[in-house]
Amino acid sequence: MARRGWWLVIAAASVLALVSLASNVTTLSQLEGKANTLLAGRLTLSQLVNAGAVWAGLAVVSGWLVRRPVPAVAAGVVALLTACVVHYGVGIAFGMFDPDVWAANEHWFLAAMVVGGPLGLMGGIARRLDLRGMAARLVVPAGAVLEPLVLGRFTTPAILPWPNRVADFVSGSVLLTAGVAGCVQVIAGERRRRQALPDRRVPAEP
């Protein structure tokens, strides 16, 4: 499982990187304002796949896949760094980015090394069947709830074009809904697990 888990980490990181890259492809008609509906859809997809909660989720899932604490920390870092390398590397290969994109985005590589480890560890802990495990499983859905509120997805300035406002609202709504649903599922699952446990109380003396 360990080797398979690592391959799944690389695969998940690569898929997210490529989908994120594809969501940034802008046609001439979009730039000229002749395809605003398509632009709104593309911006919505871009905001979703580039959401902090989604990239944090990649690191958490990677830690969960490799299970043990130390490998989980490494998996979180490797997943985020792989996603960055694939994203920018393929972008350069297709002429979407200039070679200096590496230096211009070095902060994302630094962020991957700083937060990837703790998030990966959360993934490893998420397998535990106790309160710590439940808390770790709540990290990503709670982040999805908070992100659109913190970033003001529901208060986009009216001066911006309508595709931007629609994309903000739709992506924010999706993140908020998914986050709330995830939190409810985690808490409900923990409650069901506890109810299924045998009653270990010592019976009273007759």
Distance between CA 124 and CA 70 in Å, rounded? 9
Q: Where does residue 157 fall: left (phi above 0), alpha (psi -120 to 50 degrees), or beta otherwise?
A: beta
Write out the H or E segment, with its range, that includes residue 111.
Answer: helix 106-125
| pLDDT (average), residues 179-193 | 92
Q: What is the pLDDT of residues 92-128, one digit of tens each?
A: 999 889 989 999 999 999 999 999 999 999 999 999 8
Name which of 35-39, 120-124, 181-185 the model is least confident about: 35-39
Local structure of residue 94 (DSSP, 8 states): T
pLDDT at 200 (0 to 100): 53
pLDDT at 2 (0 to 100): 64
Torsion angle, alpha carbons of 59, 65, 69, 72, to 10: -30
Q: What are phi and psi of 57, to 5 degrees?
A: -60, -35
83 or 205, which is more confident: 83
